[in-house]
Structure 1
């Protein structure tokens, strides 16, 4: 073969190899592609053969093509075997799932079969045990019948014995048997449709009623006076009869004690009728004496007739209180507004004393009984009688209103005369204030006895009203606007001391009322406005004293303005106006402090003097002309001397080694600081040259601005 032919054959072989590789011999992706012609059922091989053997020379490549086709066939066989192996491995899992479904269906079928067999077995067992159940029910009914027959026999026997005990008045035995009869009768309530049992139940009930009536009749014979010897002969039978009444129940016991109380109080009702004179409030003490005598007489008898736990004496007193309370309500309603308040109060006080007597008497009895330990601390009678007076206590409160009006009017019209020097004491106050609070204390003590509720609250409001009037009419109205003489200074100091005393005492009064008034009214007790009123009175009086000092200092201030500041060529000693000013202030303060002894008001007075002096001094600066550097330095010296004097004001009448408090010294320094700063600012010459910190330090108030000459002022 020629070289050209050989080359052509190799090229064809290469093309064939590529074609085979392209169509699946080496590329596995062709196996999975549904568009590959080799995977189609109607595959046409002719186009591929034409492509592979496109030239005659390519015939030489047939063996090689065959080899490739065999290899491709082997690859397909291997792939098929692999897929068949995987499918065979998956078939057992499917079989197991199918087998599991089959087994599960078999299990459900078995369960249903077992259930059916269980139902059949239950029916069989029920049929087998039906006779046994019947026997159990028969046994139970037979046992119940035997029990009921036995109880019926016991009831019949007890009924017969109880009838005998009742006729023979053997109450102790009857009481024990009666409890058993009542308990046995309760078992036959559901069997009363049976004629014999219904008859027996009626007989038992009739016997209970009869024996209760018999015991009551025995008490009537002993107590009512028809058979007075009965009590002496058979008092023990009466006590045993109470055991029968206990067995019969509370209703029988209550009936007997109510009857006994009514019998004993029959005479009391007749004597103290509300319409008779004996039933009036004037004879209220006779009522209480009557009961005390009755208790003393009847107590031995009651102890012999009644058990202690019946508390017959207590019931007797309760009935007495109810009758007396009702009588008072009728009497008071008839009297209405014409009721004498003093008589009402006297009757109420005696009533409350009597209630306290009953409380003490029966509380001690209860505390001695173990069965009543739980009653400790509780009131037995409370306001059993006095509650009848409660609606009319407003009359008493109104009477206190009228009395206080008269007192305050009297106090406001009294001359405000301070005590003489020999009677003067450091804590001297107006006698009227002491008398007023003494009256308050007495009325409050009286009110606390008769009412601690709404009426006490109303009384506290009346107290507050007249405290306000006392502050306005008896104190504030006597403050002197322009004090000129020492007597007026004494009077003003007396007002301050009195206002302070009233303020302190009001706090004690408020606390006392809060301590005794009922809890629901505590929050409504309020005297804040009245305390503020007395503080205001004291403040106004202190200000009146300050005005006196201000008026007395006016000549010194005029002297300051009249000084020829233009001829002042050097700084010397303190100015004459400062000497006069200090002399006047110290003299007035000494005069006031002789009569003012409360530190808080001394301090307030001195604080106001300092403020007033500085506030007057500041405007004076700009009025002094010409204000040269020498003049300013002289004023700084005067300010220092004045400040030194002001620091001594609170202790000016004290020993020389005394010192004012640190707080007061700080106040003086704070108040005088603007004055000193203004003078130092003027010394700088121009406002523009003032240090920034000085501008910040100086107050920007109008009074300080006016103190500076116009050229030294800055924004308002």
Structure 2
């Protein structure tokens, strides 16, 4: 009796199968409806750009675009209708149609609405905001350098509304990514087994991943642009003439002010997707530290006091970067461990460069060994820059560079001798020697 109950009825889908050869008409109608819906989304986005509705000067989480929810609700209705007619081959056609408009949504609604780099970005770094952010910073020498600081502040950046738009698109892309994964599962579940394995939406998921990555990159570039002129200012200081170590330099104040102005907005807008805010912090810190090190090499020549002042500045920047994820919080929160490791490692490298510059030279050999010991990844070109920072003339550098290359070659040779390939070669030679003797 149980077997008879579990056996499918011979009348199941009997009527539906009669219409299967003509279901392409349904798919064509669906395609036209989705095309009209997409046109409406595009028109709406031109009238009111993403993020504009929620931008009112008050910080808060970015909402997902309503068009995104409308699209997936429409998809759900279509899938229910289609499965009532057939769960066979037509489901593959339905999937292809869904894929088509997921791609269009990613490009036309998300990607195309991102602010253009170098476009009509407003001067977001208003002097009123920057001045406000200086309240808690050291003001030593600020008045004397105010005119030069004004020039630094005039940087084309995204406005807060444009930042809000980027964050809104990012959160929408994340929603699309997660919902597309669920859609793939539902389509497979509703489709006959012989066809379900052919339903793959990985390409569409990749498209949303790319939008998210692009959004993060735009936010990183924007903050980098804000800090760039301050780093350039650092290289223009006459570090060989510094006579006393004071408070942190004004370029450090400028960078910290930009961080305080930007980070809280982005963090609040991305509060619904914290992992992407962490990615933003990681990418910015990595990029900023790399640029800082390159700019440090341009600070030449340095006297001991100048190097000490730079070391203080680097330490203050390190502190600011470590606190970056919680910038603006009244109660500081601990940064993610992965982020902290990146900052500590990168800034330790910058600090070590300055400590080496500050150290005295007993002999070329000892100095080179010291550099290799404390900076094992140091390249020959970077070593030469350190010599420039110390103020050594080109003729004086020859001996140091030769010593560096000799030690570098010796290290490479040691690595080769210890490699598995080298060891295997030695074993083969020994085997041949044994055979000859036998």
TM range (shorter): 0.7 to 0.9
Aligned to 2:86: 451
Match among 187, 199, 203 for residue 525 of structure 1? 199
Q: Retained in 2: the 8 A contact 1:674–1:704? A: no
Q: Structure 1 residues 590 and 707 mapped into 2: Cα distance closer, same or farther (>3 Å)?
A: farther
Q: Retained in 1: the 8 A contact 2:88–2:192? A: yes
Structure 1 length as normaliser, TM-score?
0.45
Alignment of 1:211-250 (within 5 A): none
Q: Structure 1 residues 590 and 623 mapped into 2: Cα distance closer, same or farther (>3 Å)?
A: same
Alignment of 1:327-406 (within 5 A): 372-380=1-9, 381-406=11-36
Does 2:242 align with 1:568? yes
Aligned to 1:22: none
Taking the aligned partners of 2:99 and 2:70, their CA distance within structure 1 comes to 16
Alignment of 1:46-195 (within 5 A): none
Does 2:280 align with 1:609? no
Aligned to 2:372: 695
Aligned to 1:644: 319
Match among 254, 258, 268 for residue 594 of structure 1? 268
Q: Displacement of 1:508 after TM fit?
A: 1.0
Aligned to 1:634: 309
Aligned to 1:434: 69
Matched residue SS, 2:197 = helix
Q: Retained in 2: the 8 A contact 1:427–1:497? A: yes
Q: Displacement of 1:529 after TM fit?
A: 1.2
Aligned to 1:462: 97
Matched residue SS, 1:524 = coil
Taking the aligned partners of 2:235 and 2:371, their CA distance within structure 1 comes to 27
Q: C-alpha deviations, 1:55-108, integer Å up to 9, x for none?
A: xxxxxxxxxxxxxxxxxxxxxxxxxxxxxxxxxxxxxxxxxxxxxxxxxxxxxx
Q: Retained in 1: the 8 A contact 2:232–2:295? A: no
Q: Structure 1 residues 699 and 427 mapped into 2: Cα distance closer, same or farther (>3 Å)?
A: same
Larger RCO (CA under 8 A, 6+ residues apart): 2
Between Structure 1 and Structure 2, the one with more helix by share is: 1
Q: Structure 1 residues 616 and 702 mapped into 2: Cα distance closer, same or farther (>3 Å)?
A: farther
Does 2:54 align with 1:420? yes
Q: Structure 1 residues 544 and 553 mapped into 2: Cα distance closer, same or farther (>3 Å)?
A: same
Q: Structure 1 residues 426 and 580 mapped into 2: Cα distance closer, same or farther (>3 Å)?
A: closer
Q: Displacement of 1:492 after TM fit?
A: 0.7
Q: Displacement of 1:706 after TM fit?
A: 7.6
Taking the aligned partners of 2:197 and 2:371, their CA distance within structure 1 comes to 53
Aligned to 1:581: 255
Aligned to 1:537: 211
Q: C-alpha deviations, 1:585-634, integer Å up to 9, x for none?
A: 22221232232221111101111221121122112122223222222222
Q: Structure 1 residues 691 and 464 mapped into 2: Cα distance closer, same or farther (>3 Å)?
A: same
**RMSD value, Cα:** 2.5
Matched residue SS, 2:108 = helix
Q: Retained in 1: the 8 A contact 2:59–2:268? A: no
Q: Structure 1 residues 666 and 446 mapped into 2: Cα distance closer, same or farther (>3 Å)?
A: same
Q: Structure 1 residues 563 and 427 mapped into 2: Cα distance closer, same or farther (>3 Å)?
A: closer
Taking the aligned partners of 1:701 and 1:450, their CA distance within structure 2 comes to 68
Taking the aligned partners of 1:609 and 1:567, their CA distance within structure 2 comes to 32
Q: Structure 1 residues 613 and 673 mapped into 2: Cα distance closer, same or farther (>3 Å)?
A: same
Aligned to 1:681: 356
Taking the aligned partners of 1:637 and 1:473, their CA distance within structure 2 comes to 48
Q: Retained in 2: the 8 A contact 1:618–1:707? A: no
Q: Displacement of 1:655 after TM fit?
A: 4.0
Alignment of 1:10-29 (within 5 A): none
Q: Displacement of 1:563 after TM fit?
A: 1.7
Give the stretch that moved more between structures: 411-420 or 618-627. 411-420
Q: Structure 1 residues 693 and 390 mapped into 2: Cα distance closer, same or farther (>3 Å)?
A: farther
Q: C-alpha deviations, 1:303-332, integer Å up to 9, x for none?
A: xxxxxxxxxxxxxxxxxxxxxxxxxxxxxx
Structure 2 length as normaliser, TM-score?
0.73
Q: Retained in 2: the 8 A contact 1:497–1:596? A: yes
Taking the aligned partners of 2:380 and 2:24, their CA distance within structure 1 comes to 58
Does 2:114 align with 1:479? yes
Q: Structure 1 residues 578 and 485 mapped into 2: Cα distance closer, same or farther (>3 Å)?
A: same
- Aligned residue pairs, count: 345
Matched residue SS, 1:708 = helix
Q: Structure 1 residues 424 and 590 mapped into 2: Cα distance closer, same or farther (>3 Å)?
A: closer
Q: Displacement of 1:564 after TM fit?
A: 2.3
Give the stretch that moved more between structures: 503-512 or 664-673. 664-673
Q: Structure 1 residues 518 and 547 mapped into 2: Cα distance closer, same or farther (>3 Å)?
A: same
Q: Retained in 2: the 8 A contact 1:619–1:706? A: no
Aligned to 1:235: none
Q: Retained in 2: the 8 A contact 1:620–1:707? A: no
Aligned to 1:548: 222
Q: Retained in 1: the 8 A contact 2:62–2:164? A: no
Q: C-alpha deviations, 1:414-454, integer Å up to 9, x for none?
A: 23242235798635111111111111111112122212111
Q: Displacement of 1:497 after TM fit?
A: 0.7
Taking the aligned partners of 1:530 and 1:376, their CA distance within structure 2 comes to 41
Aligned to 1:140: none
Aligned to 1:665: 340
Structure with the greater alpha carbon radius of gyration: 1
